[in-house]
Amino acid sequence: MEKERGYVLVLALLIATCILLYIIIQTGTIFIQRRQVDYSFYREKAFALAESGVDAGIAALDQLSLPESFSVSGTIEGMGTFTAQVTSSVSQATVTAMGVVSHGSNTITKTIRVRLINLSSLIFDAAAIGLNGVNVSGTGYIDGDVVVGPGAPAPDEEKVSGDIRELDIPMELPRIPPPSSFSSWGDDDKLTDDDSPINTGGTYRFESMQIDSKKTLEITAVGEEVVIYIDGDATINGELKIASGCSVALYVSGKTSIAGQGIVNESQDPSQFVLYGYSKCDFTSENIEFYGAVYAPEISIKVTGGIIQGALVGNTVSVGGGGLVRYDSRVRNITLAGVPKFVFAPGSWEEIKGS
Q: Are residues 281 and 201 in the same domain?
A: yes
Residue 286 CB partners (closer than 8 Å, separation 6+): 305, 306, 321, 322
Q: Are residues 221 and 301 in the same domain?
A: yes
Residue 332 CB partners (closer than 8 Å, separation 6+): 124, 125, 271
Q: Are residues 112 and 154 in the same domain?
A: no
Write the pLDDT tens digit of every residue in 48-98. 989 999 989 888 887 766 557 888 999 988 889 999 999 887 778 899 999
> Residue 210: beta bridge partners?
235
Q: Are residues 26 and 139 in the same domain?
A: no
Q: Are residues 138 and 248 in the same domain?
A: yes
Per-residue confidence (pLDDT) for residue 12, from 0 to 100: 65
Per-residue confidence (pLDDT) for residue 22, from 0 to 100: 62
Q: How many structural domains comprise the chain?
A: 2
Residue 201 burial (CB count, 10 A): 18
Q: Are residues 98 and 175 in the same domain?
A: no
Q: Are residues 63 and 172 in the same domain?
A: no
Q: Are residues 291 and 163 in the same domain?
A: yes
Q: Domain range spanning residue 65?
A: 2-119+341-354
Whether the predicted pLDDT of 355 surpasses 80: no
Per-residue confidence (pLDDT) for residue 21, from 0 to 100: 66
Q: Are residues 139 and 106 in the same domain?
A: no
Q: Are residues 110 and 129 in the same domain?
A: no
In this prediction the pTM is 0.76
Write the pLDDT tens digit of every residue in 117-162. 887 778 889 999 999 999 999 999 999 999 999 999 999 999 999 9
Section 9-21 average pLDDT? 67
Per-residue confidence (pLDDT) for residue 259, from 0 to 100: 85
Please choose, from the candidates 167, 178, 181, 175, the residue with its C-alpha nearest in 3D space to the C-alpha of residue 339. Answer: 175
Q: Are residues 201 and 166 in the same domain?
A: yes
Section 298-318 average pLDDT? 91
Q: Are residues 173 and 276 in the same domain?
A: yes
Per-residue confidence (pLDDT) for residue 157, from 0 to 100: 94
